[in-house]
Structure 1
Amino acid sequence: MRILIVDDNTTSLQSLRIVLSDLGHEPTPFTDPLLALEEARKNHYPLIITDIRMPRMDGISLLKALKNAPETESCDVVLITGHGDMETAVGALRHGAYDYLNKPINARELAAVVERCAEHQALLNENRDLRQHLDNRVNEVAGTLRRDLDEARTLLREVSGIGTVVSESPATERVMNDARMFHRDPSVPVLIEGETGTGKEIIARLIHFGESGCENPFVAINCAAIPHELFESELFGHEAGAYTGSRAGGSPGKLELAASGTLFLDEIAEMPLTLQPKLLRVLEDRTYYRVGGIRKRDFKARVVCAANLDLAELVEKGLFRRDLYHRLKVGHLFIPPLRERKEDIPALAALFLKRQAERKRKQFIGITPEAMDILLNHPWRGNVRELENAIERAVLVHDGQMLLPEHISFLNPGRDMLSGTESLGTIPLDIESLELPEAPIDLEALTTAIIQKALDRFEGNKSKTAAYLGISRYALHRRLQK
């Protein structure tokens, strides 16, 4: 082991050098502590043995200088003490000295101390190697995890639907930018308005997940699909025995399941008026009670709502609470219909074509200009959802590398295709040859009869009825109100 020895007494210095050499070590003597310090900083010495009382720099100062320098802090320092230096030597141990030797130095004690230092240095080297190995392994694993995380994020965007968002148009880009802004502040409730099929839930997921993902839950409720008598229990949960038919042990509601994530209330206009004040209270106080409960519970989730009806008009008609409407609208997004942002159609169609080709193991790789013209000129009353369904149908039925006009011939501009359903075929009324009777027509009654027959045909499904009649769900809702 290489050892640096420092002592201004040349006789003691030579004695130490001889004994250490006989023990098989490599001693390097110095009488000047400043020069010894400079040497220690240039070349590594596992052990430094130094006298305490020396001119220019005493042994304690040398010890502190060695321990305060990164290049020498790992070396072991052994002090040589005289009879009057015992208290100083003991204090030096607190400054990092490994041990001390009393004068006159006993060869056996010196050999024992040096041996312990050699073992200590061996342990330090082993630990250093282990740490290096561990660091290398951690970096290797971290690199793998980062790659896996990137893949997981890509998969998350696919599964959550975030990857469906295409922002070729300025309107969509504004929506996405606002969604990213709302993601950063979970305390702000957000209201997303737009026609059916415009991708409101996708934007809600973008608000929740952001660009890099979120581990907290995303809990969605379709307000139109829950019977009014069960709505409160579904939202707030219930305690045991809260009502006839309740679970024996009680049950958490969606407010509780959302935890610190996002509660998404789709078709919020369908929420019963009697429950709207309770939701407002949750948003204001961030607390709630289960049905039949007496313990106040904290609510920590973000609230995002979606509506395909004009909530402002419903408020004026007394069909939606004004105070809840304004509370939900702190963060507001309006997604324009696809027909008003046709710049998004080529990119969306290409995305859906690629996705469906992979899922159905088809060879489609592109869309011909003629087919794209058909897509661009179609009214898309079902919006993005209708476009995706149309591409899926074309890929399912046909084969080839390019999507051709004949593959989407069912998108005849003179025909209506229901969003998410099979085509209804041609319109059964021949408009050109239609003859009016001589007697006056009750247009209102005729319109009502047509709407009623369409509702009967689709078993009361308003979305399918509106698509069949070629009107928006909001327009159908207004007609039904009349």
Structure 2
Amino acid sequence: MRVLIVDDNEDSLKSLALVLTDLGHEPVALTNAEDALAAVAKEYFPLIVTDIRMPGMDGLELLTKLRSQQNSLSSDVVLITGHGDRDTAIEALRKGAYDYLSKPLSAQELAAVVERCTEHQALLLENQSWRTQFHSRLEEATQSLRQHLSLAQERLRDTTGMTEVVAESPAMVKLLRECLIYHEDPEVPVLLEGETGTGKEVLARLIHYGKEGNEDPFVAINCSAIPAELFESELFGHEPGAYTGSARQGAKGKLELAGKGTVFLDEIAEMPLSMQPKLLRVLEERSYYRLGGSKEHPFRARVICAANRKLGQLVDSGAFRRDLYHRLKVGHMVIPPLRERPQDIDLLAMHFLLRQAARKKKRFREIHSTTREILLSYSWPGNVRELENAIERAVLTSDGETLLPGHVYFLFSEDQNRRRVTFEGAEQLADGAVSLHDIDKLILPDDGLDLEELNQAIIRKTLDKFGGNKSRAAKYLGLSRYALHRRVQK
């Protein structure tokens, strides 16, 4: 081990160097602290032994400067003290010295300190090695995930020009292009219609942010969550003392807070009828009054509305104003449910899988082919939101690199819109198997059973059980390999 020794007394320096050489180490002797700092800046010394009392820079100041140099942060520093330097030595320990030796020096004490420093440096090197290995393995483990995510983002950019929105179906790609068109003209109100969970707010944000982003606010308002008597104040704000219980200093409304950004009125169908003509006036006049105020405020934000019910039908029934409806639908987009765009299911599932795996520090990076079939065959009544929740649940409760059919077992009992065979204790599917030996556990649907669909499901699960090995699957089902091959082709 190379040891740096610093002492202005040349006789002491030679004695130290001789002892260290006898101990099998390689001493580097210097007579002042300034030269020692220069040497440490060029080379790493595991052990530095320095006298405290030296002309110019003393040992304590040298210790302080050594601890500030990157090359010496893990060096062990041992100070040599005289009889009257005990307090200084204690102060040095507080500042990071490894140990101190008292004059006159004992060869045995020096050897013991050097041996402890050697062991300490070996532990530091071992710890550094483990840290390096850990970070290397962590990088290897996440590299594949980064590659899959990068590929998914590339695919999204090619399809839609956006990485924040996942879509591949022609209908959704068309809507995404329309969003970018509406983004260019903030004065055009846009109405988004679609079932719950189809991603109306996602498209609203795309209209607001566009490709390059938008520094202006995006203010979302859930119309169903605001009491009718507070709606006007929430939207327009109010002046001091405008109504009982109002803030003394008044308050800004959401329209004012939006500035030149976007006001997103979610569930617009729930807006009270009494508020609808007031909103229409804002859209027509591009101005409004605070509740209880007489000053006209300009309105500069865009308006995007969303409804999970068809507003046209509400208009016909008198539950929504016709004039407001036509004003809102200058830009009109109807988002199809997920079941009508199966091309997006696979892409969305992979997108959610990689994102949840990264968030929850899991190893998932691909979806098994049979799992894909299950996801495609499910009706997704909750649309994209339900798919995201299902993938999150699967990632949270399972582990592995591949999302297997057993990881989404809960979908078998949740899809009430398809003819399926379900089993008591469906949690057994988490292990990738269902026992059919106990016929009492078999529950048949009341509205009929598609036997061919059941046979296909059993074959798929058997092949999955044996990793695609058709010979073993055929033996398990009591079929010839040729018969199984015919059924698979069918």
TM-score category by the smaller chain?
0.5 to 0.7
Tell me the residue number matched to 1:320: 320
Mapped contact 2:379–2:415 kept (Cα < 8 A): no
Tell me the residue number matched to 1:348: 348
Residue identity opposite 2:317 in structure 1: K
Tell me the residue number matched to 2:226: 226
Residue identity opposite 1:224 in structure 2: S
Tell me the residue number matched to 1:373: 373
Tell me the residue number matched to 1:331: 331
Mapped contact 2:167–2:348 kept (Cα < 8 A): no
Are 2:257 and 1:257 equivalent residues in the alignment? yes
How far off is 1:431 after superposition?
Answer: 7.5
Q: May I ask how many residue pairs the two structures share in their alignment?
A: 266
How many angstroms apart in 1 are the aligned matches of 2:307 and 2:414?
Answer: 29
Equivalent position SS for 2:391:
helix
Residue identity opposite 2:216 in structure 1: N
Residue identity opposite 1:346 in structure 2: D
How far off is 1:416 after superposition?
Answer: 4.6
| Matching of residues 401-416 of structure 1 within 5 Å | 401-412=401-412, 415-416=415-416
Equivalent position SS for 2:406:
helix
How many angstroms apart in 1 are the aligned matches of 2:181 and 2:167?
Answer: 16
Residue identity opposite 1:273 in structure 2: L
CA distance change for structure 1 residues 188 and 432 in 2, over 3 Å: closer, same or farther? closer
Mapped contact 2:223–2:268 kept (Cα < 8 A): yes
| Matching of residues 133-282 of structure 1 within 5 Å | 163-282=163-282
How many angstroms apart in 1 are the aligned matches of 2:360 and 2:414?
Answer: 30
How many angstroms apart in 2 are the aligned matches of 1:397 and 1:250?
Answer: 49
How many angstroms apart in 2 are the aligned matches of 1:287 and 1:307?
Answer: 24
How far off is 1:262 after superposition?
Answer: 0.2
The Cα offsets for residues 165-206 of structure 1, whole Å up to 9 and x where unpaired, read as 222100000110100000000010000000000000000000
How far off is 1:320 after superposition?
Answer: 0.1
How many angstroms apart in 1 are the aligned matches of 2:167 and 2:198?
Answer: 13
Tell me the residue number matched to 1:306: 306
Tell me the residue number matched to 1:146: none
How many angstroms apart in 2 are the aligned matches of 1:361 and 1:433?
Answer: 42
Equivalent position SS for 1:257:
helix
CA distance change for structure 1 residues 191 and 362 in 2, over 3 Å: closer, same or farther? same
Mapped contact 1:378–1:413 kept (Cα < 8 A): no
Mapped contact 2:364–2:399 kept (Cα < 8 A): yes
Mapped contact 1:164–1:351 kept (Cα < 8 A): no
Tell me the residue number matched to 1:444: none
CA distance change for structure 1 residues 431 and 322 in 2, over 3 Å: closer, same or farther? farther
How many angstroms apart in 1 are the aligned matches of 2:207 and 2:286?
Answer: 20
Q: Could you list the runs of 5+ residues in structure 1 that have no partner in the other structure? A: 1-153, 418-424, 435-482
How many angstroms apart in 2 are the aligned matches of 1:388 and 1:172?
Answer: 17
Tell me the residue number matched to 1:294: 294
How far off is 1:237 after superposition?
Answer: 0.4
Equivalent position SS for 1:187:
coil
Tell me the residue number matched to 1:466: none
CA distance change for structure 1 residues 250 and 431 in 2, over 3 Å: closer, same or farther? farther
Residue identity opposite 2:280 in structure 1: L
Tell me the residue number matched to 1:400: 400
Residue identity opposite 1:323 in structure 2: D
Equivalent position SS for 1:315:
helix
Residue identity opposite 2:299 in structure 1: F
Mapped contact 1:179–1:203 kept (Cα < 8 A): yes
How many angstroms apart in 2 are the aligned matches of 1:334 and 1:179?
Answer: 12
Mapped contact 1:364–1:399 kept (Cα < 8 A): yes
How many angstroms apart in 2 are the aligned matches of 1:181 and 1:218?
Answer: 18
How many angstroms apart in 2 are the aligned matches of 1:266 and 1:216?
Answer: 19
Residue identity opposite 1:278 in structure 2: K
Residue identity opposite 1:340 in structure 2: E
How many angstroms apart in 1 are the aligned matches of 2:321 and 2:373?
Answer: 44
How many angstroms apart in 1 are the aligned matches of 2:307 and 2:211?
Answer: 24
How many angstroms apart in 2 are the aligned matches of 1:358 and 1:278?
Answer: 46
Equivalent position SS for 1:370:
helix
Equivalent position SS for 1:220:
strand
Residue identity opposite 1:379 in structure 2: S
Equivalent position SS for 1:412:
helix
TM-score (norm 2): 0.52
CA distance change for structure 1 residues 349 and 205 in 2, over 3 Å: closer, same or farther? same
How many angstroms apart in 2 are the aligned matches of 1:346 and 1:193?
Answer: 23
Q: Could you list the runs of 5+ residues in structure 2 that have no partner in the other structure? A: 1-152, 157-161, 418-424, 427-442, 448-490
Mapped contact 2:190–2:303 kept (Cα < 8 A): yes
Equivalent position SS for 1:221:
strand
Larger-gyration structure (1/2): 1
Residue identity opposite 1:201 in structure 2: E
How many angstroms apart in 2 are the aligned matches of 1:329 and 1:414?
Answer: 35
How many angstroms apart in 1 are the aligned matches of 2:334 and 2:350?
Answer: 24
How far off is 1:264 after superposition?
Answer: 0.2
How many angstroms apart in 2 are the aligned matches of 1:414 and 1:237?
Answer: 44
Residue identity opposite 2:258 in structure 1: A
The Cα offsets for residues 105-143 of structure 1, whole Å up to 9 and x where unpaired, read as xxxxxxxxxxxxxxxxxxxxxxxxxxxxxxxxxxxxxxx
Mapped contact 1:204–1:264 kept (Cα < 8 A): yes
Equivalent position SS for 1:306:
strand
How many angstroms apart in 2 are the aligned matches of 1:176 and 1:361?
Answer: 31
CA distance change for structure 1 residues 319 and 358 in 2, over 3 Å: closer, same or farther? same
Mapped contact 1:236–1:255 kept (Cα < 8 A): yes
The Cα offsets for residues 235-281 of structure 1, whole Å up to 9 and x where unpaired, read as 01000000000001000000000000000000000000000000000
TM-score (norm 1): 0.53
How many angstroms apart in 2 are the aligned matches of 1:432 and 1:416?
Answer: 10
Mapped contact 2:339–2:383 kept (Cα < 8 A): yes
